[in-house]
Structure 1
Amino acid sequence: MSHKGCCYDNAVSESFFSSLKRELLIDTSQHSAQQAKTAIFEYIEIFYNKQRRHSTINYCIPELFDSSFS
């Protein structure tokens, strides 16, 4: 078992939240909690999972990577 706050234990989530902060939250100022939730949802579901290039799949767009197997 590791120590509290060890970033190596949850490197994937640390990387994701780093991208979220860098690409979304710094550039926008939300007026309410609901607007922030909506912006984060859209970032994850529309951009991050479908359009953003990922280094783990050779900087390919996830949808193109998935379609190469079908």
Structure 2
Amino acid sequence: MVESFFGTLKSERVHWRRYQAREEARRDIVEYITMFYNGRRPHSSLGYRSPDDFEKNGHLANAA
């Protein structure tokens, strides 16, 4: 699962940008993770629903 995440991060974000400093890269990657990847992206482990939708429907307790 982690390898898939890093592959997606690289292909959708990192490979298309030029960073002037490590801190700039860190901020951009954190923004990507918190604003896009975690909230809106459908995940197969959640029945192809986004984490936001999954939590709104009260399925968080049944996920484990």
Q: Could you tell me which amino acid in structure 1 is paired with residue 53 of structure 2? A: L
Larger radius of gyration: 1
- SS in structure 2 opposite 1:49? helix
Moved more, 55-64 or 28-37: 55-64
Q: Map of 1:15-54 to 2, 5 A cutoff?
A: 15-54=4-43
Between the aligned partners of 2:27 and 2:15, the Cα distance in structure 1 is 16
Q: Once the 2 structures are TM-superposed, how far is the Cα of residue 45 of structure 1 from its aligned partner?
A: 1.2
Task: In structure 2, list runs of 5 or more residues that go unmatched.
Answer: 60-64
| 1:4-57 per-position Cα deviation (integer Å, ceiling 9, x unaligned) | xxxxxxxx1111100110111112111111100001111111111112222322
Between the aligned partners of 1:59 and 1:31, the Cα distance in structure 2 is 36
So what's the TM-score if we normalise by structure 2?
0.77
- Stretches of 4+ moved more than 2 A in 1? 55-59
What do you get for the CA RMSD once the two structures are aligned?
Answer: 1.5
Between the aligned partners of 1:39 and 1:23, the Cα distance in structure 2 is 12
Which structure shows the higher helix fraction?
2
Moved more, 17-26 or 48-57: 48-57
